[in-house]
Amino acid sequence: MVLSVALHLLIVVFALAGWSWTNPVQEPEPRSISARLISPEPKPSPVVDDQDQRRKDQERRELEEKQRQQAEAERKREQEAEARRQAEEKVKEQARQQEQERKRQEAQARELAEKQAREKEAARKKAEAEAKERERQKAEQERQRQEVAKRKAAEEKRRQEEQRRKEEAERQRKEEEARREAERKRQEAERRLREQQLDALADQALKAQEAEARERREAEAARAREAQMLSESEKYQALIRERLSQAWYPPSSATENMTARLQITLLPTGELASVTLVGSSGNTAFDNSALGAVRSLNRYPVPDSRDTFERYFRQFTIEFNPQRLR
């Protein structure tokens, strides 16, 4: 911009200078210089001729022309200086106006930037307010949902509790009816027994002996059955321990002091229903190896007798130890 201003200034100076040279302004005649010699005028020599007078006149005119030209040159220099001054003033004015325009544009730009910043800040605050409102609404909806869920859970719990109370009342009612029926039957049996005793006193001793003998036989049969069931259970327990011992691979970190107690639940078919760790060895790998061994058997050897199965194999506990399986 400074270079442009300087170029314009030079163009204006040259234009004014050229115009002043080609179209000179009509200036007043230069002032002549008059001088007076104080000393007494010399008297003309009678020997001075006309040629000498003409020479002096020529010299005077040349001096006057030279003075006029110098005055003209000085005037032109003053005009050029004035033109340069005016051009410089014009350039300075243009520069001042340009500077004012630049400052005005900068002020407008700052004002626009501040306005945009205010609008942006307002938009940001509005977005934050909207986001907070959405979060508040979301939190309110979540709170309402949780309250509804709590009410439903409480209602379901109350319903289940009511159902349990009804079932418990129904069970107690049935038990009471069964007890009363049993009591009635017992009383009826006692009544009949008394009648039979009254009607057949003679047969009482014989029936008592037969009953005692029958009880002895039943007791003996029960003891024999119990012994048979125990023997059969020991056989199948040994088979189960053998199968588990074959399927069990203790980890390398196992020690003789580690023991894991597992509760096993079987189906009558010998299939595994569930297994639960009821006593940890303190070593997770050891416990997991025992659980894996129990789960690895597709079918367990169980007795055909339902009574023996229900008493000894429906649910039982077994201990895993590197030295033994119990």
Q: Kindly report the backbone phi and psi dihedral angles of residue 6, in degrees, each rounded to the nearest multiple of 5, phi listed first.
A: -65, -40
For 124-141, write each residue's pLDDT tens digit.
Answer: 999 898 989 999 999 899
Helices (H), 200-310: 204-247, 284-296, 306-308
Helix axes of 2-22 and 50-199: crossing angle, nearest 10 degrees: 160
Closest to 237 in 3D by CA, of 264, 259, 261: 264
Taking only the tens place, the pLDDT of each residue in 72-95 is 999 999 999 999 999 999 999 999
**What is residue 25's predicted lDDT score, i.e. its pLDDT?**
47
Q: What is the mean pLDDT of residues 205-213?
A: 78
Q: Taking a C-beta distance cutoff of 8 angstroms, is the pair 293, 240 a contact?
A: no
Which of the two residues, 84 and 46, has the higher pLDDT score?
Answer: 84
**pLDDT of 144 strictly over 60:** yes
The confidence score (pLDDT) of residue 262 equals: 96
Q: Which residues contact 272 (CB under 8 A, 6 or more apart)?
A: 264, 265, 266, 294, 295, 297, 300
